Amino acid sequence: MMRKYFSYPILLLSFLTLIFGPFKAIAQDTNDFEDISASSQMNKDELYKKIQTFNEQHKIEPIDAKIDSVWKAIPGYNGLEVNIEASYKKMKKNGRFDESKIVYKEVPPSIHLEDLNSEPIYRGNPQKPMVAFLINVAWGNEYIPGILKVLKEHKTKATFFLDGSWTKKNPDLAKMIKEAGHEIGNHAYSHPDLQQRSMAETTEELKKTNDVIEETLGIKPKWFAPPSGSFNKTTIQVADQLNMKTILWTVDTVDWRKPATSEMVSRIVSKVENGSMVLMHPTKPTAEGMEAMITGIKEKGYKLGTVSELMSEKRID
């Protein structure tokens, strides 16, 4: 007898579902239609169209990383385009186009530095208005504090490539460089001519240096600078196997020849361009000319940064 009464709610629920179910579906369809309608309306909006047109006129295509016949591996560079939806939202309230409210977004290239075959790197992307200082350290201790002082005063970061045996003997100076916020690279262990070394010997030189740098500074270098710029294909491959890219230079101070400071500065400043990497050492001409080089390069409109910042695809303009 009880079973008979319990069946009525079930029948009622089924009846209501049958009646109101289609209305729920219709309501959902209506909401979907309204969303599509709103999107279509936005696309037809004159303000939206003006923003689209502005984007077409001002967007910059990204540049893929590539292997150049002269400069070898060259990093890519992000493109730039308008974030149309974000820009529209900022302008919609007033209903008029306002260039100051345009929102941009960077567009990455399709091919990155990591996608290329192992090749040395001599420069950054030629569209990037940045210059990097490469400071190879195997001697010249007396000039390091002065160089660091000038870099700090001008809020400039450089990449110091440390010789492994030097780091072992001078841990305090190595820590001073790192604590000043500069980037640390690998400069082999005993300043060898790597073009004349076997794969096993090269591996030992680079790995031993990485080990002492990690032990002393707690970091693993990702950039390697061959001593005296001497290398071969094996050198590049060994560095790559140790997760490092091989860095050369675009412009050389040749400071180890003790040039007149003013002449060296003038030559360097006149030669730098987008993506240049400037090679130097802790020497008297570099210590004396560092401030003038920084000032002169910045006056030409370039930003100074580390190798990592220069290799980055991120835009700085």
Model pLDDT, residue 2: 43
Q: What average pLDDT does the chain have?
A: 91
**Residue 258, Cβ neighbours under 10 Å: how many?**
11
Are 182 and 159 in contact by the 8 Å Cβ rule? The answer is yes
Cα–Cα distance measured from residue 25 to residue 32, given in angstroms and rounded to the nearest whole number: 11
* 156 pLDDT higher than 70: yes
Cα–Cα distance measured from residue 60 to residue 239, given in angstroms and rounded to the nearest whole number: 34
How far, in Å, are 24, 37, 38, 39, 200 from residue 29 at the CA level? 9, 12, 14, 15, 69
Mean pLDDT of 84-93: 95
Which of residues 177 and 6 earns the better pLDDT score? 177
Q: How confident is the model at residue 42 (pLDDT cuts 50, 70, 90)?
A: low
- For the domain made up of 118-311, give the CATH fold: TIM Barrel (3.20.20)
Q: Which of 90, 187, 206, 93 is nearest to 137 (CA)?
A: 187
Which of residues 25 and 312 earns the better pLDDT score? 312
Model confidence over 252-264: pLDDT tens digits? Answer: 999 999 999 999 9
Please state the three-class secondary structure of 12-46 as a single string: HHHHHHHHHHHHHHHHHHHHHHHHHHHHHHHHHCH
* Region(s) of the chain under CATH 3.20.20.370: 118-311
Mean pLDDT of 45-68: 97
Mean pLDDT of 4-13: 46
Which of residues 316 and 33 earns the better pLDDT score? 316
* 23 pLDDT higher than 90: no
Model confidence over 273-298: pLDDT tens digits? Answer: 999 999 999 999 999 999 999 999 99
DSSP β-ladder status, 251-252 and 277-280: parallel
* 9 pLDDT higher than 90: no
Which of helix, strand or coil describes residue 264? Answer: helix
Cα–Cα distance measured from residue 34 to residue 56, given in angstroms and rounded to the nearest whole number: 29
Model confidence over 168-184: pLDDT tens digits? Answer: 999 999 999 999 999 99
Cα–Cα distance measured from residue 201 to residue 204, given in angstroms and rounded to the nearest whole number: 5
Cα–Cα distance measured from residue 116 to residue 62, given in angstroms and rounded to the nearest whole number: 17
Model confidence over 119-155: pLDDT tens digits? Answer: 999 999 999 999 999 999 999 999 999 999 999 999 9
Cα–Cα distance measured from residue 241 to residue 202, given in angstroms and rounded to the nearest whole number: 11
